[in-house]
Structure 1
């Protein structure tokens, strides 16, 4: 795997490097690189016009570095919960449409409703069909159906794509619902989150053999108890054979430092859901920790994960974009 820049980018991805000359990457290779299913790449091509700019002879399409960069932006945007159609428009570099009054287009014509609904008026937007089934099962508190649908999504699309394209949009829709409904539907969000955790445990290897110097430590910063996204990252790494030490929510500073010194990890991922919990001094302190014999001291690569770190640059830390970006960086660092 190619070397990484300080911001977590693959050096070979710049200026066309890292793409085979004269041919480019196949759709399967692009999908593996992004951490999504090949069907997802084909759907984005067919539905949103995110296919290769150039064409080669034969039936197989080839993707250049520029094509892949566009898809990487699509992944990053959808990971934030942006509807795929809007994310695709931004990934293509198009300007946002002119603002029009509610219910009208820029030209003044009435437009049909563009958002899909499931169950008790849960607004999902332009999402995968699977989201609607997951939302209905969650709203009905139907455990058996929800488990089946979540397992099907992970099996069909892979964990990274299932999280990005099915689970996150549904969780965000539920969150919007309870925020605008006087704290109703909180039980739906908790129910859905619990079953996602259960599916992760069922689809993740029990243990991954340790490789000295290759362990990844994952923890929420002190005061942060939102662990689900970190659980997904831990599961995705375990599926790729990366040894992980997961410490979950609100790990005290002293405990975090002790864990890093005892495990000597290749990387440490610090999750912050809120700007109020993200701590730049903490991330810098962890990045400065050293261990090993004199003359061969080592430090971990620190990743600042989660929306809480937005706008808070930490010197020496890597800020990956989305789940796929975090998996790529940590897999590469652990392999060194």
Structure 2
């Protein structure tokens, strides 16, 4: 039975970006060799992205998640063995199975201590993961959760398609949530509509040892943009209503870092000053499920996000999925 006075609080955050930083000019030079034209000006004007990071060939999603998790564990000041729930949000797992969460649990040296599983909600994955971990903790089933968003999206990009390959990058972000009598995650709202599954997808699967369908990301950019700006405002307001707060009560907005125009539109609709939005898309690109926790960690470590402040996270991604959480940090 849920304990009414029990909350889940963020104890620590962590992140990791692979060392290979790829600027727009680097990418344009690479694409030119394949006969694909783009430029720094073209990419920045449409997305706000200046650079992104790509994992090296020998780096897996769980490798990125490991370093982000270790940084979060260190920031939280906890013993890794106290973690009794691991949730990894990813669309680019190491394997079909076992889950990336189980691989991460092993790399962290955590032995037989609670559940570990992946969440697949694409760019909304971290919001889904936070809401899930919060529910487990509030129910009394778990006490300390590690929630990670980690991606190696560079592996599923078609570098002949300039409308998608310039958008995405690799990285990982993590938070430690722990049971507390002090308010932490105040409210969450999650949604999905599978009728939009075709506008953003990687429509391939493994069949008898081969890829059936396409293993590359496909996106209808205009359809995604239109849907995203509509649902992000609504889910943000829904989460705020559940928390009995208004946009004026929010100190920091951390949206999914997909496209600066989508982010700015959401901020305007919520009537929040642009200065209260955490923006990392320029340096990170779209890292899918990793984008929110990466931005969260950046703003915590540079001192913008302070204890006691209200943080609104929100994401939208393929599925189509969207979600938001209000967090008192």
TM-score, normalised via structure 1 length = 0.29
Q: Which has the higher helix share?
A: 1
Q: Which has the higher strand share?
A: 2
Question: Greater Rg, structure 1 or structure 2?
Answer: 1
TM-score, normalised via structure 2 length = 0.30
